[in-house]
Amino acid sequence: MTETSTVTASPPPRRVLGLIAAIMLNMVFGSLYAWSVFISGLEHDLGIMRTDVSIVFSLAIVCFTAGNFLIPFLFGRVPTPLLPLFGLAAGAGGLALAAMGDGYLSVVVGYGLLFGLGCGLNYNVVLQAGLMALPRNPGLANGLIISAFAAGGVIAAYLLEMSVAANGVKPTFWALALTIAATGAVAVALILLSGIRLPRQSMRRPESHDSRTMQICWIGFFLGALAGVLSIGHAAAIITHFGGAATAAVAGVTLLSVGNAVGRLASGWLTDHVPVRSVAGISHLTGTLGFIVVLANPTGEGAVITMTLSGIAYGMTAGVYPSAVSLFLGRESYGRNFAVLLTAWGVAGLTGPTLGGYFFDLTGDYRVSLEIACVAAIFALFNAMRLPNTRGPKTDA
């Protein structure tokens, strides 16, 4: 009996344990999105500049992408319940190093290098495990797990901010490391009980049709993420720039985060019921309309609406393209293909916030930055129309 048939023969309640484990792991590693709560504390404790602090998060994004590239080579070669241990060791160990060290280098290596790498190693494993847990509903599986990462960031930001205010940055690093380790122990046990076994990834040369589909998905993911991370990186500043009060800025950032999580879940569910091309189109149309709102109505209220719609669009983008890769290019090479797709997010994550800051410094206004984000969303909308107009092939389970 093959690995695939072993998994598909497993009773649904048993497979669901793997899905629960995947959601748990992605929620705790979603704390990567809560990086901003550490900025002021690190500047004060280490006596460094904002640029120095920003380098840590940029490195974490790069290492997150690298982790997604590396882990698929272990699928089918290392027992599946042991795969999360690589990400857990890197993530919790990195945070512990950042907590123990006295200087800037320990934070760069511990958080930027090791924690970022651990997040990436975990992310690809749990996405693949989710597909194995819900083989007949791959879109829903992707949506649940990807939205858990965003939801974890929202929850972590609230809890970590309180911890930093009460205890400081270093003790908070320790608390997060222990939380990840404890959650990981439970998740590993659940994956073991689920019976899920990840097969080896296909390393065959992609056919020309597959390459074209991957190119469309990469471009769409890059453009949608570029607009989204530009908004995320400057959300509060954009709202206050257009006249919003501090309370409006907090509300806008919160709505953006909630929209991000809801968009991821919604896009995953939709890809199981309507063509992927339509879901991608809805995502980018939502983003386009959002940016038009603040450009046509440059007020604090308009900016809050824009951030909300931008969050939904970004979340849908983050959900629909991984689902498209799974549906159109096959699950046997999903881990590797997802890693390639994720480079689009990495490039967007490094360039989007930088572009927003550069043009604001150049003009003293966020209009040009928002116009760039709007144009990116429009191009992404047209690019989405190049996707196959099907729901993708279904695999038996």
Q: How far is CA 341 from the centre of its chain?
A: 12
pLDDT at 9 exceeding the cut of 60: no
Q: Any idea which residue has 């109505």 for tokens?
A: 297
E strands, 232-333, in order: none
Per-residue pLDDT tens digits for 329-376: 877 777 778 888 988 988 887 788 778 878 887 888 889 999 999 999
Please report the pLDDT score of residue 359 as a whole number. 84
Q: Do domains 3-194 and 208-384 have the same CATH topology?
A: yes
- What is the arithmetic mean of pLDDT over 309-334? 87
Please report the pLDDT score of residue 5 as a whole number. 38
CA distance 172 to 41: 11
CA distance 189 to 23: 14
CA distance 9 to 239: 52
Core vs surface per residue 319-348: b (16+ CB within 10 A) or e: bbbbbbbbbbbebebbbbbbbbbbbbbbbb
Q: How far is CA 291 from the centre of its chain?
A: 22
- What is the arithmetic mean of pLDDT over 314-338? 84
Per-residue pLDDT tens digits for 61-111: 889 888 988 888 898 889 999 999 999 999 999 999 999 988 899 999 999
Please report the pLDDT score of residue 35 as a whole number. 79
Are 369 and 230 in contact by the 8 Å Cβ rule? The answer is: yes
Q: Where are the domains of the chain?
A: 3-194, 208-384
Please report the pLDDT score of residue 21 as a whole number. 93
> Could you give the percent of the chain with pLDDT greater than 90?
41
- What is the arithmetic mean of pLDDT over 15-43? 86
CATH of 3-194, one of 3.30.465.10, 3.40.1830.10, 1.20.1250.20, 3.40.47.10: 1.20.1250.20
The superfamily (CATH) of domain 208-384 is MFS general substrate transporter like domains (1.20.1250.20)
On average, the pLDDT of the chain sits at: 85
